[in-house]
């Protein structure tokens, strides 16, 4: 009987036929080999399915699942996590990719040695569509510092995270009522029962799409983030400062 892999990598994709191969390649390049790669296709309308299925023949650790209907991001993330057989789950959005070939190895080793830590992230590099570096986001490293900053700014990057499946289950999964900030909300829920950690290295490239965001999307993001901050105000420090920041962001966006 085959043993389940130690790690499940989950890629959620929708109409990213042009970028999905890069994400997959960055996973298969990992030095740590005991993983499965679950690709959750949220009913793409482009050539995503054909590209994903072509990879199935190249590596038997890859599994492909296509939603019959577009479920949106939170439900798709929950589907991927539910299908994951690994003790640890690493998330990767299909327009991002991993820079460090030892990412899985370093994070798994950290979780193995620190049983009180429920999730671990990394620093990230933000790139434009031409591969030019825009900035690097370096986050707090230890639980105390991460916890102190979480309401002010999310300290865990979605495409850099690895969490225990048990922590995911006990936290109640991604909130499917949220279309923005579902990852931020999940980290805050996990942090109620577990400790946080980040690795200092820049291990992830995060794609910043050209054209920016519409004013409507900016307002929706501010509103969603503020709702999440209010939801978790009793569990983390810095609530009032975070709310003031939300108000200032709203005024600047007018």
Which pLDDT does position 211 carry in this prediction?
Answer: 62
Q: Report the distance separating Cα 212 and Cα 156, nearest Å.
A: 22
Question: What is the model's pTM?
Answer: 0.95
Q: How many residues does the chain have?
A: 254
Write out pLDDT tens, residues 85-141: 999 999 999 999 999 999 999 999 999 999 999 999 999 999 999 889 999 999 999
Write out pLDDT tens, residues 11-25: 999 999 999 999 999
Q: Report the distance separating Cα 150 and Cα 138, nearest Å.
A: 14
Q: Report the distance separating Cα 165 and Cα 173, nearest Å.
A: 10
- Return the CATH class of domain 7-212: alpha beta
Write out pLDDT tens, residues 204-236: 999 998 765 677 888 999 999 999 999 999 999
**pLDDT range class, residue 69, cuts 50, 70, 90:** very high
Which pLDDT does position 213 carry in this prediction?
Answer: 64
33-62: average pLDDT: 96
pLDDT at 1 over 70: no
Q: Report the distance separating Cα 163 and Cα 195, nearest Å.
A: 11
pLDDT at 168 over 70: yes
With a CB cutoff of 8 Å and minimum separation 6, the contacts of 222 are 246, 249, 250, 253
**pLDDT range class, residue 177, cuts 50, 70, 90:** very high
Q: Where are the domains of the chain?
A: 7-212
Write out pLDDT tens, residues 137-165: 999 999 999 999 999 999 999 999 999 99
């Amino acid at each position: 009987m085959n043993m389940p892999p130690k790690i499940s990598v989950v890629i959620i994709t929708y109409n990213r036929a042009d970028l999905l191969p890069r994400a997959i390649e960055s996973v298969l390049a990992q030095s740590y080999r005991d993983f499965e790669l679950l690709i959750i296709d949220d009913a793409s309308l482009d050539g995503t399915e054909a590209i994903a299925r072509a990879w199935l023949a190249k590596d038997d650790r890859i599994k492909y699942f296509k939603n019959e209907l577009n479920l949106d991001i939170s439900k798709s993330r929950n589907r991927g996590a539910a299908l994951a057989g690994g003790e640890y789950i690493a998330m990767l959005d299909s327009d991002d990719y991993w820079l460090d070939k030892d990412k899985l190895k370093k994070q798994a080793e950290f979780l193995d040695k620190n049983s009180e830590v429920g999730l671990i992230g990394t620093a990230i590099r933000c790139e434009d569509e031409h591969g030019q570096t825009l900035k690097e986001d370096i986050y707090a490293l230890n639980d105390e510092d991460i916890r102190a900053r979480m309401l002010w700014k999310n300290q865990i990057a979605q495409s850099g995270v690895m969490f225990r499946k048990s922590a995911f289950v006990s936290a109640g999964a991604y909130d499917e009522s949220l279309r923005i900030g579902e990852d931020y909300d999940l980290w805050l829920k996990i942090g109620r029962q577990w400790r946080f950690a980040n690795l200092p290295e820049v291990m992830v490239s995060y794609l910043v799409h050209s054209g920016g965001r519409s004013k409507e999307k900016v307002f929706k993001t501010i509103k969603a983030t503020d709702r999440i901050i209010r939801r978790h105000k009793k569990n983390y420090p810095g609530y009032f400062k975070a709310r003031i920041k939300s108000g200032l962001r709203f005024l600047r966006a007018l």
